[in-house]
Amino acid sequence: MAARVLPLLLVVVVAAAMARAPTAHAWGKEGHYMVCKIAEGFLTKEAATAVKELLPGWAGGELAETCSWADTERFRGNRLPELSVHAMIDKTLRTIMYGYGYGDCHNTNGEKDMCVVGAINNYTNALEDSSSPYDPTESLMFLAHFVGDVHQPLHCGHVKDLGGNTIIVHWYTRKSNLHHVWDVNVIETALKEFYNEDVSTMIKAIKMNITDEWSTEEKQWETCRSRTKTCADK
């Protein structure tokens, strides 16, 4: 989810203070879908063609359809052999939660480059390098997934609380944890309260803000292009 969108929604949602239990949809999936759907619209013609060529057949030509692939495959992982791509995904997803920036990128075992920023760098490099041992289609799907994740502030949080996973909170009447609130609960509630459960309306609203309301911030966002520094370092 776009980081700028959520704090605003959070304030509005909390202020509204409506104690309703959100319905149990797979909104984690919706969050990733929305990020990719928005991103797809900003691809150059060349990039869009390259992406289309790499997409698996089941994506139906849509990058957004593949953006939860990493999570979905991970949950299937238990019936798969240890060295399969699924085991690798599980290891990667389990360990990329933490580290606010490149200089602080490590997992719970202190292994360097095991954070979401490290994963983005690795899969970007893999896509740029035709001699990389990584499968380019998988690299693209990982990259698209992790770019969504990195905009979730708790993927750049502390190892100590496992990116907010150990912080138990209530979202209205429902028990949750802070990581899950950002991943799922906020999006689910916003969709319900403001967008009539319609993902495409919410995407439209966010897109409109990107080209309108927030466009003056574009220059500032562009200064965050560096692979080795976060904006917080600047």
Ligand X SMILES: *[C@@H]1O[C@H](CO)[C@@H](O)[C@H](O)[C@H]1NC(C)=O
Question: Between the CA of residue 165 and those of 36, 52, 178, what are the distances in Å?
Answer: 24, 35, 6
Residue 100-129 contact track with ligand X, rule CB under 6 A, x = bound: -------------xx---xx--x-------
Residue 41-80 contact track with ligand X, rule CB under 6 A, x = bound: ----------------------------------------
Cβ at position 176, least distance to ligand X in Å: 22
213 sits near ligand X (criterion: CB under 6 A):
yes
Question: Between the CA of residue 87 and those of 79, 196, 199, what are the distances in Å?
Answer: 10, 38, 31
8 sits near ligand X (criterion: CB under 6 A):
yes
161 sits near ligand X (criterion: CB under 6 A):
no
Rounded to 5 degrees, φ, ψ at 177 are: -130, 160
CB-nearer residue toward ligand X: 122 or 185? 122
Task: Kindly calculate the radius of gyration of the chain based on its CA atoms and give it in whole angstroms.
Answer: 18
Give the pair of three-digit tokens for residue 148: 């969504």
- The dihedral region occupied by 148, where left means phi > 0, alpha psi between -120 and 50, and beta the remainder, is alpha
209 sits near ligand X (criterion: CB under 6 A):
yes
- Which residues are near ligand X by CB under 6 A? 5, 8, 92, 96, 113-114, 118-119, 122, 205-206, 209, 213
